[in-house]
Amino acid sequence: MAKEKKQSRPRAETPKGFRDYFGAEVDERKQMLDRIAAVYHAYGFDALESSAVETVESLGKYLPDVDRPNAGVFAWQEADDATWLALRYDLTAPLARVYAQHRNDLPTPYRRYAMGPVWRNEKPGPGRFRQFYQCDADTVGSASMAADAEICAMLAETLEQVGIPRGDYVIRVNNRKVLNGVLDVIAPQGTRAADESVRTTMQRVFDSEKRADILRTIDKFDKVGEAGVRELLGKGRLDASGAYIDGVGLDDQQADRVLSFLTAKGDTNEQTLQGLQETVGDSSVGAEGVWELRQIADLLAAQGYGPDRIVIDPSVVRGLGYYTGPVFEAELTFEILDEKGRPRQFGSVAGGGRYDDLVKRFTGQAVPATGISIGVDRLLAALRAKGRIGGTEHGPVVVTVMDRERMADYFQMVGELRAAGIRAEVYLGNPKNFGNQMKYADKRGAPVAVIEGGDEKLRGVVQIKDLILGSKIAENATLEEWKERPSQVEVSRGELVDEVRKMLSAQDG
């Protein structure tokens, strides 16, 4: 008889590209999301929780290099009807489906905010995860540039409310229509037919072949600079590793026009707009994009948002393919040290823009929409870098157990503490070793321990130990100082709550 093969144990490890979040991190995220939600709510936006799972058809193929159902997303096929389902890769595509499905019951415009995890089936790397949180706000049903200006203003206020001071961020605004105008201008001469309809058809061919490559190239402007982008727009360039990267294949004149667009930013928004107007030449769609940017700049200026907070910047592209007009990006301007100790700017924490064709995929009718998405984990990392969060967080008060037969007494104590708004718990491990209880309290970050043995019970008192002060004294104080500043006090049982509250208040002070 063959020996039965022993079943192997699963490895206890987080899947690649994912991570676990523990107490303090979860609390920090919730507190930040609550502040963001308060700003969105004040601006009149309503909360929405949509399904985490959508059909692949509903999500659309907007992520880079998506040429099959499960590329870029986590997807699976239903066994009964062959439908492809996928975890959402952002919160915008699901909104388009929700609005198309419930549009008869929703107000127009519909203003909503949403918060939650999204998933992308991409190659993970340092600081790049396959699951991450986003926090979105969108206005669906308004073509007015006032909706875009409001989104930018709300984003600025949100950053300041969560702890990013003015001067440490800038919101950069561009317009995809301006870029489309540049593409129109640089189209090969063969596409400049006298018949406008023929020219438009041929122009679309040029766009479909070159648009994605040009977008990806100019999106590298901050990383490789003007010279690097020029090489990538042309024949190509050697990267830092020595590998050769093929270029887009534009000629020098075409590359010059694209670079003129990228470098059109002037000292003021007005100078930038004038530069963009010159760059788009006689393109009607480009001129429309410049006009929309001018409206946004004027509306923001009327509210007191100057270029020190929100600025027109042609280098903003945004990678997703569904943007049709204005695009936004919030960049943090302060410096941090990278993993090699080199100073660098923190970079982008939010982005968005106008996507007037996304709902049309469902309804066949154009529905204007615009919105913003905050990268929650990036913003949390920024707040930690600024020292706004990430300090030592206290755990609950621990009521120790000296006699397991008197658990009811200990639960009465913890009940009184909780009723007074004090976070507390009873030690639920083996009470035989009191040292282990103190080790547990230390690992929990407990600020206070409550002790009531048999002797204390007979005398109607409890011992209250200040674990924070005790730790500091043990590290820094002499024996005499220990005696002068006792970290453990004895009070009557009836004074338990008041004394714990006083001790916690002293720690916070």
Q: Would you say the pTM of this structure is higher than 0.75?
A: yes
CA angle 274, 280, 281 (to 5 degrees): 95
Q: How far apart are CA 246 and CA 234, in angstroms?
A: 9
- 381, pLDDT greater than 80: yes
Instruction: Note the pLDDT of residue 317.
Output: 80
Q: Which residue has the higher pLDDT, 47 or 335?
A: 47
Q: How far apart are CA 167 and CA 277, in angstroms?
A: 29
Phi then psi for residue 7, to 5 deg, are: -70, 130
Instruction: Note the pLDDT of residue 191.
Output: 47
Q: How long a stretch of residues is the chain?
A: 509
Instruction: Note the pLDDT of residue 319.
Output: 65
Helical H runs in 263-333?
269-280, 284-302
Instruction: Note the pLDDT of residue 69.
Output: 47
State the average pLDDT over residues 290-314: 95
Instruction: Note the pLDDT of residue 189.
Output: 55
CA angle 460, 464, 470 (to 5 degrees): 155
474 membership: H or E segment, kind and range:
helix 467-476
Structure-token pair, residue 26: 């979860």
Instruction: Note the pLDDT of residue 2.
Output: 63
Q: How far apart are CA 263 and CA 277, in angstroms?
A: 13
Instruction: Note the pLDDT of residue 391.
Output: 65
Instruction: Note the pLDDT of residue 401.
Output: 97
Q: How far apart are CA 396 and CA 388, in angstroms?
A: 22
Contacts of 383-387 with CB under 8 Å at 24 or more apart are: 383/28, 383/32, 383/162, 383/163, 383/164, 385/334, 385/336, 385/346, 386/163, 386/164, 386/168, 386/334
Instruction: Note the pLDDT of residue 154.
Output: 97
Q: Are 286 and 264 in contact (CB under 8 A)?
A: no
The share of the chain scoring above pLDDT 90, in percent, equals 58
Q: What is the pLDDT of residues 323-378, one digit of tens each?
A: 899 999 999 998 777 667 777 778 889 999 999 988 999 999 999 999 999 999 99
The whole-chain average pLDDT of the chain stands at: 87
The band of 130, judged by pLDDT with boundaries at 50, 70 and 90, is very high
Taking each helix axis from N to C end, the angle separating 176-186 and 284-302, rounded to the nearest 10 degrees, works out to 150
Q: What is the pLDDT of residues 167-195, one digit of tens each?
A: 999 999 999 999 888 888 887 655 444 44
Instruction: Note the pLDDT of residue 482.
Output: 47
Q: In three state form, how does the secondary structure of 6-48 look?
A: CCCCCCCCCCCCCCCCCHHHHHHHHHHHHHHHHHHHHCCCEEC
Task: Tell me the domains of the chain and their CATH numbers.
Answer: 23-179+280-385 (3.30.930.10), 397-508 (3.40.50.800)
- Dihedral sign, CA of 473, 479, 481, 484? positive
Nearest-CA neighbor of 94 among 115, 80, 66? 115
Q: How many CB atoms lie within 10 A of CB 313?
A: 20
Query: Beta strand 236-238 with 343-354: parallel, antiparallel or unpaired?
Result: unpaired
State the average pLDDT over residues 294-318: 93
**For the chain, the helix, strand and coil percentages under 3-state DSSP, each to the nearest 5:** 45, 20, 35
C-alpha dist (Å) from residue 332 to 95, 244, 318: 27, 32, 16
Instruction: Note the pLDDT of residue 485.
Output: 58
The per-residue b/e assignment along 408-432, b for 16 or more CB within 10 angstroms, e otherwise, is: ebbeebbebbeeeebebbbbeeebe
The band of 451, judged by pLDDT with boundaries at 50, 70 and 90, is very high
Through-space distance between the first and last CA atoms of the chain, rounded to whole angstroms: 73
C-alpha dist (Å) from residue 196 to 188, 201, 203, 308: 15, 9, 10, 42
